[in-house]
Amino acid sequence: MTSRKLARRSLRKRLALVYAAGVYAAGVLVLVFVDLPLAGIQETRPAGLPEPSTVTETESGIGLPQLLTGSAVALVVLVPVALALGWYVAGRFLDPLRAITATAQVISAGNLHRRLDLGEPTDELTELGHTLDDLFARLEASFDAQRHFVANASHELRTPLAGLRTLLEVALADPDADAGTLRSACQEALALGGYQERLVEALLALATSERGVTRWDTLDLADVAGGVLASRRDQATRRGVDLTSHLTPAVTAGDPGLLESLVANLVDNAIRHNHAGGHVKVTTRTSGTQVALTVVNSGPVVPEDQIQRLFQPFQKLAPERHGRDGYGLGLAIVSAVTQAHHATLAARARPEGGLSITVRFTHGSPPSQGQ
């Protein structure tokens, strides 16, 4: 803290000296270019007039010694005036910087609501303050989202662990438990373990998606979608959902693994939240400078005001449903992958039920390595 104050005072001293030097240099220039030429000016007389017998001091020009003496005194007096003026101006100039430093020192992970609010006038320092305010706002939103995510993840992981513990305690406490009972308990324990494993994999997929794209390859979304659909047809058949597609070339750039995860989560979400006799249609197309992937599915009616919430982690249309029907992470992964690829995502509720989700990517080759 002391070193920061010393550094700030040192900066004010340097600025004050710079301002004082400028004011003093202006005084010297006045002496050189104004006062010295005046010293040689003498009183002029009309031509033809006889010279007076005596010449008084007031008839002559300003004497050089007197002018130099007065100027020297003025320059000496100007030194403290220039320093005081420079100190004041430097202090006013550094006021926004002091506010930035003081506010930044009190901001912490639990106190991110503080803002600089430098106000007017608008200059480079106040623009820096506005930029920092925007940064603090983004950090606050990020910390809030992280705390919300950790709380939800802890809850989701604690539920199957508690169920597994209860299952084992009941099986061990039963004195009449036979091999069949224990086998049944083990099977349920394995099912709960599988649920936890899939949840952890989903959490890892979300974390990987939010990390950003580190590999850019040119690929065709039609090929990616085709591979995903081939692996989901049996699942759709078991649920009685008709899975169709209309895949035309849609070449874009991105991480193949993340894009496959995006398509897989869209298709899984469309199949899972559907009904017997329902349908899912996947479409890829190219339009101008963009390529689009669209997944349309039937299912329950989704209120318009709930759509954006579904793209947040651990959010479900019907929270009371048992967790084994989904973790509320599929559409959150889709949103994270979309943002990582600088793509756009549009979702709308269908009046007859279900969703229509479209993700638009830039058409063409991967960006240069410098980006």
- Determine the pLDDT at residue 28: 76
DSSP 8-state class, residue 276? T
Number of CB atoms found within 10 A of residue 351's CB: 7
- Determine the pLDDT at residue 3: 52
Encoding tokens for residue 31? 């002496």
pTM: 0.59
Alpha helices in the chain (DSSP H): 2-30, 36-39, 64-106, 124-173, 179-211, 221-239, 256-272, 330-340
Buried b (16+ CB within 10 A) or exposed e, 300-323: eebeeeebeebbbbbbbbeeeeeb
Encoding tokens for residue 182? 């224990």
| SS3 of residue 327 by DSSP | coil
- Determine the pLDDT at residue 371: 47
CB 167 within 8 A of CB 185: yes
Q: What is the pLDDT along the chain (371 residues), one digit of tens a residue?
A: 455 555 555 777 887 788 778 877 877 777 777 666 665 554 444 555 555 544 444 444 555 667 667 777 777 887 888 888 888 888 877 777 777 777 777 776 567 777 777 766 677 777 888 888 888 887 887 777 677 677 767 766 777 788 788 888 888 888 888 888 888 888 888 887 877 777 777 777 777 767 777 788 999 999 999 999 999 999 999 999 999 999 999 999 999 988 999 999 999 999 999 999 999 999 999 988 899 999 999 999 999 889 998 998 878 776 544 444 567 788 988 998 998 898 999 999 999 999 999 999 988 666 554 44
Estimate to the nearest angstrom the gap between the alpha carbon of 19 and the chain centroid.
39
- Determine the pLDDT at residue 42: 44
Closest CA to 310 of 288, 290, 332, 327: 332
